[in-house]
Amino acid sequence: MNANTESAPTAEEYSQAMNLIGSNLFSSLVQSMEKLQPHFRNQKMVSNALSSFLVNVIYKQSSGNTEKIQQMLDEILNLVKIQLDSIP
């Protein structure tokens, strides 16, 4: 099948894909943190690493367009809030 004839993914397929990506990113972060000296293994480093990662992704996806940057940041923040609120 080519991209024009494939059906859109189901909600379950989309969720599985996002979980796979999220798990892989988390594993990579954990492995990277373990390679650091102990005094760098803290919440501040995790926050800085995640923010740097997000800045790079947002910038690459937006081609430097300020409006697209803000839209993507707003979308990410909204999704994070929704996902945190759904944790039992």
Question: pLDDT at position 3, please?
Answer: 55
Q: Which residues of 30-51 are buried (b: 16+ CB within 10 A; e: fewer)?
A: eeeeeeeeeeeeeeeeeeeeee
| Percent of the chain whose pLDDT exceeds 70 | 94
Residue 6 confidence (pLDDT): 75
Distance (Å, whole) CA 73 – CA 51: 11
- pLDDT of 1: 47
Reported as a single tens digit per residue, the pLDDT across 46-73 is 999 999 999 999 999 998 899 999 999 9
Stated pTM of the model: 0.75
> Is the pLDDT at 14 greater than 50, yes or no?
yes
